[in-house]
Structure 1
Amino acid sequence: MANVITKKQLRSTSLPSRSHPSTSAIEETLNRIKTVNTTTGSSESILMGLAGLEELYNCTEEFLKMGSTQRVMSSAGSEFMEEMLDGSLRLMDICNVSRELMAETHGHVRGVHSCVRRKKVVGGGDQLIVAVSGYVGLRKNMRKQAKKLLGSLKKIDGTSDSCDNDHADEHLVAVISAMRQVVSVSVVVLKSFLELLSGRQSNIKSKLASVLKKKKEHHEASKNELETLDSVICGDSCSHDDLQKKLEEVEMSVGGFERNLEGLFRRLIRTRASLLNIISH
């Protein structure tokens, strides 16, 4: 793209004091998302953040359908619209890869879970070892993909100065600010999600033989569900009951991510279509 958003660290997700009635719905939704601290790295907070983004893009879609918004954005200039299109495309790509990763993870976790249940009933661990090995490979790829996506996020993290707030029309300033805040908040939430996926590196492949060892005493640091499952597979704590419990937790968490990312991806598509429609007219 001709325009690359200036790289600046996001310091605040609040809108400027000079607002406009047309941006009130977006402003209210942004403020609700601000109350969710996704930087804690907990699955629950990140799920809430993703759900908030779905709501935010519903508001954004309605906002972009307003005739007043379309007229103002049409007059904002090609640089700003290029910025919005570039950001929307990057966010769509990141969301799409993320939802595909979650769908694949969901399938692998269900497979391991099924093997654990069968082993507990009928004995035999070959299928379990194969399923766990597949999950290990998936986690390795997940970390790699998450780091790539985090790199892509950095290219849209920040704001541009293409509009002079001191001289531009008040409505124009409010619209541009609102749209940039939507992008910036999306970056914050997705960054937290991808950091959760990247997790800690662990040498789990070399410890597959320990998958079904009895529970050992250990001191566990604060971990998310994926990291905890990695530790269980490492053999730190890996009785049948332990492994099954952790698999259930991961399956529930990943299923929630998959659903929210699917919903967000669809809304991002509609938002991009609205932006393209404004340009074409």
Structure 2
Amino acid sequence: MANMIIKKHIRSISLPSRSHPSTSGIDEALNKVKTINTTKSSSESILTGLAGLEELYDCTDEFLKMCSTQRVLSSVGSDFMEEMLDGSLRLMDICSVSRDLMVETREHARYLQSCVRRKKVAGGGRGGGDQLDVAVSGYVKFRKNTRKETKKLLVSLKSIDGGSSSYDHDDEHLVAVIDVMRRVVSVSVVLLNSLLEFLSGRQSNIKSKLASVLKKKKCNLEDATNELETLDSTIRGDSCSRDDLQGKLEEVEMSIGGFEKNLEGLFRRLIRTRTSLLNIISH
């Protein structure tokens, strides 16, 4: 049900309430993002969504550099520009913190992989087991902190205004520009919400039990829906071998690299958009 609501939300905010020739390019970019299905909670779908946002903000920057856009935004009241600046700052913060969490996740995954390999080489020796136990406990603690952090980010995300209210004015061009800028923010909120839900994973208690992690039995992970959630399920399960654990760690590390790249690219574009807005105000 939640996935249907998110998909419906993207569809509704992607259709312009009022069209204008000057907004046709960014309208097309918004409609392209609308077709991206981020409701699967998989790394591939979320990465596609982030790439779509990067393209959208490239288009937004071009749109803000148009003389016609700058002219109408220079005449609009300060409330709207403050709304856009506040939203851009919050989006930048969420993007930056999410990127840092991805980096830390990859570092934890790499360390766990190293401990698993050393455990294999040691052949079950106590030293390797103790080190792996500490590494697993460290990962469990990190994931709990990640969930707390993403919860804060989700609250901040909900506070961002975008497309929630209409702007009534005789100048149709002005109304079209304001509508399209608000829809850009709204699409960003929806897609970043999907990212944060992916990063958070299932809200469950992960128990650090080394004996359970190292049992050489098949894992039943049918309920897991993304790589991080699958790894969490592996660690908290009672029937996973070292090979199972290492395989899930490798999957997480592979997916995280893409997130870091896309979030870094999106962060740079958000800075550029904010700079363009500030330039319009200053002139």
TM-score, with length taken from structure 2: 0.89
Change (3 A) 1:222 1:243: closer
Whole-angstrom distance in 1 between the partners of 2:145 and 2:39: 23
Q: Does 1:12 align with 2:17?
A: no
Whole-angstrom distance in 2 between the partners of 1:217 and 1:54: 37
Equivalent residue runs for 1:118-137 within 5 Å: 118-123=118-123, 124-137=128-141
- Structure 1 residue identity aligned to 2:51: A
Q: As a proportion of its length, which structure holds more helix? A: 2
Deviation (angstroms), 1:226: 0.8
Gaps of 5+ in 2: 1-8
Higher relative contact order (CA 8 A, sep 6+): 1
Instruction: Work out which of the residue numbers 189, 192, 195 in structure 1 matches 2:191.
Output: 189
Q: Which residue of 2 aligns with 1:227?
A: 229
Instruction: Work out which of the residue numbers 260, 266, 282 in structure 2 matches 1:280.
Output: 282
Whole-angstrom distance in 1 between the partners of 2:133 and 2:88: 41
Q: Which residue of 2 aligns with 1:143?
A: 147
Equivalent residue runs for 1:146-165 within 5 Å: 146-161=150-165, 163-164=167-168
Equivalent residue runs for 1:195-214 within 5 Å: 195-214=197-216
Coordinate RMSD, CA, aligned: 1.9
Query: Secondary structure, in 3 states, of the residue corresponding to 2:32?
Result: helix
Give the count of matched residue pairs.
Answer: 271
Identity rate, percent: 78
Whole-angstrom distance in 2 between the partners of 1:35 and 1:231: 31
Change (3 A) 1:30 1:237: farther
- Post-superposition CA distance 1:214-263 (Å, at most 9, x none): 12463631421111111111234421221111111111111111111111
Q: Does 1:36 align with 2:36?
A: yes
Q: Are the equivalent residues in 1 in contact too, given 2:219–2:244 (CA < 8 A)?
A: no
Gaps of 5+ in 1: 1-8
Deviation (angstroms), 1:99: 0.6
Deviation (angstroms), 1:78: 0.6
Whole-angstrom distance in 1 between the partners of 2:41 and 2:172: 38
Change (3 A) 1:222 1:130: closer
Give runs of ≥4 in structure 1 deviating > 3 Å. Answer: 216-219
